[in-house]
Amino acid sequence: MPEILELGGLDALIAALRTTGYRVIGPRMADDAILYDDIQTIADLPAGWGDQQSGGHYRLRPRGDGALFGYTVAAQGWKRFLHPPRQRLFAAHRTEAGFELAPPAPPEPPLAFPGVRACELAAMAIQAKVLGDDRRPFIVAVECTEAGATCFCESMGTGPEIKAGYDIRLVEQKAPHVFVADAATERGAALLAGLTVQTDRVPPRAPVAMGRVMPTDTAMRLKAYPEHPRWDQVAARCLTCGNCTMVCPTCFCTTVEDITDLTGDHAERWQHWDSCFSVEFSYIHGGAVRTEPKSRYRQWITHKLSTWFDQFGSSGCVGCGRCITWCPVGIDITEEVDAIHEGRAQP
């Protein structure tokens, strides 16, 4: 039986998560964008705000209603909480007996994420598989009621409907302003108990129109086109800034950096995000093997869409559209694959 969660119930749910010991991360407005960060109550959510996204373009827009989850996806994904941009791997101090390792940092509190979209759930599953991460954040998934102009999750089979992988799933309704709720896990049901009322009338889901389409057959076969002339064309525009890899919820590459202080008595090793767009990333045996922007862009998109299947058994793209929105020159991953689409006249 479907259940209805009212606004007060959502507030109580966030409070219950915090009381249970979770660090609750949700959508909020900051820096003229919607970002995921710590929230305390529903007053922190971006009520009445949506976004406009297109190639190289992002703006907040007032929606004219009080929707709490009326945006598409936040500028950055949940990746930065599950796979942080910088992490200290260890620290060591010189003592009379030699170097001693500093004690590890105390364990972080478990994480709860209210506001996860279908594509983001798919991205978390991909990253967990790649990184062998068996942590399971508490997921309060919220279905998209409208898609952004850069979204193409439908092509990738990752959305917009949320089907699995959540603890609690919500569908926001406007009039009256409530959520249709259901739980898929025991811990979800336990937290939802007492906060909802049962209903026998669930409004039908409105269709969510995608802004982009990915030609997936060609995408899967990109590795067959290493010499396609399109690589030169896209390389002429690409700044190799790496923005696309930073905002992508599945990109996982890192590098390590060793640091010592001036005395040489204290040393640390840090892991931080790296990108296939940096020259140093392909440094092996005395030189980088991908020195040209063309080879770096080709590596990124070919791995993401094609050779990822060989490595991990799925696409590395979930169709969230962030790499299109946050590319400063508006390079569009769907347009690039479309340009290579078999049967199309060569450019």
C-alpha to C-alpha distance for 73 and 75, rounded to whole angstroms: 7
Residue 257: what are its φ and ψ, rounded to 5°? -135, 130
Dihedrals phi, psi of 258, to nearest 5 degrees: -100, 135
The pair of structure tokens assigned to 329 is 């020159």
Task: Give Cα separations from 154 to 13, 146, 151, 160 (angstroms).
Answer: 30, 12, 8, 6
Q: How far is the CB of 107 from ligand SF4 (least distance, A)?
A: 29
Structure tokens at 52: 């406009």
Check: CB of residue 119 under 8 Å from CB of residue 320: yes
Q: Which is nearer to ligand SF4, 137 or 249 (CB)?
A: 249
CB-wise, 147 or 320, nearer to ligand SF4? 320
> Which of 26/321 has CB closer to ligand SF4?
321
What's the closest the beta carbon of residue 272 comes to ligand SF4, in angstroms? 17
Look at the alpha carbons of 12, 17, 20, 24 in this order and tell me if their dihedral is positive or negative: negative
CB of 278 to ligand SF4, least distance (A): 10
Nearer to ligand SF4, 140 or 320 (CB): 320
Give the nearest distance from C-beta 268 to ligand SF4 in angstroms. Answer: 29
Q: Report which of 22, 1, 6 is spatially closest to residue 179, judged by C-alpha positions.
A: 6
CA 123 to chain centre: 6
Task: Output the smallest distance, CB 92 to ligand SF4, in A.
Answer: 36
Nearer to ligand SF4, 178 or 247 (CB): 247
Q: Are 220 and 304 in contact (CB under 8 A)?
A: no
Strands 168-173 and 254-260: unpaired
Question: Which CB, 48 or 211, lies closer to ligand SF4?
Answer: 211
Q: Are strands 23-30 and 254-260 parallel, antiparallel or unpaired?
A: unpaired
Q: How far is the CB of 28 from ligand SF4 (least distance, A)?
A: 21
Q: Which residues bind ligand SF4 (CB under 6 A)?
A: 238-244, 247-250, 277, 304, 317-323, 327-329, 331, 333
Least gap, CB of 248 to ligand SF4 (angstroms): 3
Q: Residue 140 or 248: which CB sits closer to ligand SF4?
A: 248
> How many Å apart are CA 83 and CA 201, to the nearest integer?
40
The pair of structure tokens assigned to 279 is 């020259």
Closer Cβ to ligand SF4, 68 or 320, answer by number: 320
CB of 322 to ligand SF4, least distance (A): 4
Radius of gyration in angstroms for the set of CA atoms belonging to the chain, rounded to a whole number: 22
Burial of 314 (0-12, 13-18, 19+ CB in 10 A): middle
3-state secondary structure of 141: strand
